[in-house]
Structure 1
Amino acid sequence: MAQPINRRTFLQSTAAAATVAGLPRHALATSPFAMQASWINDAEFAGYFLAIDKGYYDQERLNLTYLSGGPDVIPESTIIAGRADLALTTPDTTIRAISQQGAKFKIIGAQYQKNPIGVVSLKKNPISAPSDLVGKTIAVPPVNTVTVEALLNLNGIDRNAVNIVPYAYDPTPLVRGEIDASLDFTTNVPYTISQMGEEAHSFLLFDYGVTLFNDTVVVTEETLASKRAELVAWLRASRKGWDENLADPTAYPPQWEGSWFKGTGRTIENEIFFNKAQKDLIVSPNGVYSMSETAIEQNLEALKAIGINGTRDMFDTTLLEEI
């Protein structure tokens, strides 16, 4: 005699069969994977937010954990401690850790082909080139003082001819006329200045010899050896997210007002400004994250100017060839 069918068991069996036979491949496997961002949630990371929301990491069989950064987060420490598989860093800190501390890191991509950091001034009193800093006061975050000194050195300017004071990521002293310029993200702070009733003027350090990437994609050598397939999958999904986001930089930030951007204290108009401003610094003819041999050499030369001696083998471009 036929046994009665238990409805719960039948539904579970049917669901399992459907998973194997008919569901999208992202339902078939999930490899845990964590990434550490370099700063708090803002448009700097829009491509990742889009890729998460659209399921692009799921499609690559990655169960992604996104870790936001901030002023107290050292991204390299997160991957050393094993809390993340990958981190977004600055090339100076990463290569200094490799060359001076023996850290086993590899740079496998670069989000920003051109570093967004630049000298910001007011349009009514513009600082348009390093030579304009002579006799002026520039506010610089202490961690970036050596970078500004390299800018001056590369452009033949006496360090003593420029007054460098500490900067706390607040443009108020600039707007008040207490300083002549500050060192900050040119993709963001000009918007803040506009909201304070002034118009900003800026130039990138990149355009005057400090030719560095930013938000470099860094992994440990151990992770590179053990999770290569997952890293390639992350690069592929992330590139897809960035390509879609930058196709129309105004489209997605409004959608994240109540999610990714919630509680940051920044307006959506600010994030749209940021997203639009960063586009030309990220895109590359060879795709997002590309690192050409020329660009790598430029990074090494710029780092050498600030006393950091890196070598080509600290960069691994082979994963980008597999996307």
Structure 2
Amino acid sequence: MPKTLDRRHFMALMGAGVALPAMARIARAANPLTMQAAWINDAEFTGYFTAIDNGYYKDEGLDLTYLSGGPDVIPESSIVAGKADLALTTPDTTIKAIIEQGAKFKIIGTQYQKNPHGIISLASKPINNPKELEGKTLAVPPVNVISVEVMLKINGVDRAKVNIVPYAYDPTPLIKGEIDASLDFTTNVPYTIKQASGVDAHFFLLYDYGYTIFQDTVVVIEDTLASKRKELVAWLRASRKGWAENLKDPNAYPPKFAETWFKGTGRTIDNEVFFNNAQKPLIENPGGAFAMSEEGIAKTLDALGQAGIKGSREMFDTTLLQEV
């Protein structure tokens, strides 16, 4: 789920992070490393759960601590405060923090090659492309309005002809016909709509119509990059192996986590299986999971630039991936 970075909260953490005392560590064979996820435990993170349970991190000499996210978690804050060594987040919040706060962040990989955000409509009244949004009511979370407006502009759609209303991640208005479409995660919401109403959903990705940004980017602070480079490379290698194993058969692993990673989330395993299948084409890359091509980076920077977030190539570091 999208999150914005609270600037005052972030700056407070920046100050707090500097004052954090060094933590005493017991000598051990494995090197400790902590990762902060972007959301609660669901199929979005199945590759990491697979790597943990199959011992891939231990095989790389890591003692990994996994921190789940949630609506009150700002992933970047965890690494600034020293709670985590790396975080999964979104490139817009990271780059804004670098530009506006002087944060010493580096993006070292991306889980999603194609952002899973999309325009979701009902299959009975499908909206197939941006042009078909004219004359329609589109519900959009306030934090994502600029992204949608950029997508409309890229595709020559008159913003004045699209009625954009607030959206709170609830597909009920769409099911009831109160709106024509909504912006949400295409990896999950079509399943929710089908289960709630028996009606099929239809969608297209913002990515496929010009808003070409990564999602679940892997972010570290520069000090960690310098002091734990070996461990970060090992994390990328083990995580890549976990995603490759998981995506060989997206139906296989979610049921194995029913009583562990997915327990107590209120979501069904069928939902997680749907999610895992839906995200497969958005994650896979010929170069392996987390790969960031120069073209992909350029596309991300261009799309964010059109949204008023002016990043640069120096904010991305692909050299660790070269060592994987």
TM-score scaled by structure 1? 0.90
CA drift of 1:307 comes to: 0.3
Question: Could you say what the CA RMSD is over the residues aligned between the two structures, in angstroms?
Answer: 1.1
Q: Structure 1, residues 88-120: CA drift from partner, whole Å, max 9, x if none?
A: 011111111112221110000000000011000
Mapped pair 1:312 → 2:313: yes
In 1, distance between residues paired with 2:234 and 2:304?
A: 30
**Could you say which residue in structure 1 is the equivalent of 2:5?**
none
**Could you say which residue in structure 2 is the equivalent of 1:268?**
269
Matches within 5 A, 1:75-114: 75-114=75-114
Ranges in structure 1 where 5+ consecutive residues have no aligned partner: 1-26
In 1, distance between residues paired with 2:66 and 2:307?
A: 32
**Could you say which residue in structure 2 is the equivalent of 1:239?**
240
**Could you say which residue in structure 2 is the equivalent of 1:252?**
253
Matches within 5 A, 1:173-322: 173-196=173-196, 197-322=198-323
In 1, distance between residues paired with 2:72 and 2:163?
A: 27
Write the letter of the residue equivalent to 1:260.
Answer: W
**Could you say which residue in structure 2 is the equivalent of 1:71?**
71
Query: Kindly, what percent of the aligned residue pairs are identical?
Result: 70
In 2, distance between residues paired with 1:68 and 1:28?
A: 24
Q: Structure 1, residues 50-98: CA drift from partner, whole Å, max 9, x if none?
A: 1111111111111111111111111111111110000001111111111
**Could you say which residue in structure 2 is the equivalent of 1:131?**
131
In 1, distance between residues paired with 2:121 and 2:103?
A: 37
In 1, distance between residues paired with 2:195 and 2:271?
A: 10
The alignment of Structure 1 onto Structure 2 pairs a total of residues equal to 297
Write the letter of the residue equivalent to 1:236.
Answer: R
In 1, distance between residues paired with 2:223 and 2:268?
A: 40
In 2, distance between residues paired with 1:73 and 1:152?
A: 30
CA drift of 1:283 comes to: 0.5
In 1, distance between residues paired with 2:143 and 2:115?
A: 16
In 2, distance between residues paired with 1:163 and 1:101?
A: 34
In 1, distance between residues paired with 2:163 and 2:224?
A: 44
TM-score scaled by structure 2? 0.90
Q: Structure 1, residues 115-164: CA drift from partner, whole Å, max 9, x if none?
A: 01100000011111111111111111111111111111111222221111
Q: Deviating runs (4+, > 2 A) in structure 1? A: none
Ranges in structure 2 where 5+ consecutive residues have no aligned partner: 1-26
Write the letter of the residue equivalent to 1:223.
Answer: T
Task: Kindly indicate whether the alpha-carbon contact (under 8 Å) linking 1:154 and 1:305 is maintained by their aligned counterparts in 2.
Answer: no
Partner secondary structure for residue 71 of structure 1 = coil
Task: Kindly indicate whether the alpha-carbon contact (under 8 Å) linking 1:50 and 1:241 is maintained by their aligned counterparts in 2.
Answer: yes
In 1, distance between residues paired with 2:61 and 2:119?
A: 42
Write the letter of the residue equivalent to 2:148.
Answer: V
In 1, distance between residues paired with 2:29 and 2:208?
A: 45
**Could you say which residue in structure 2 is the equivalent of 1:46?**
46
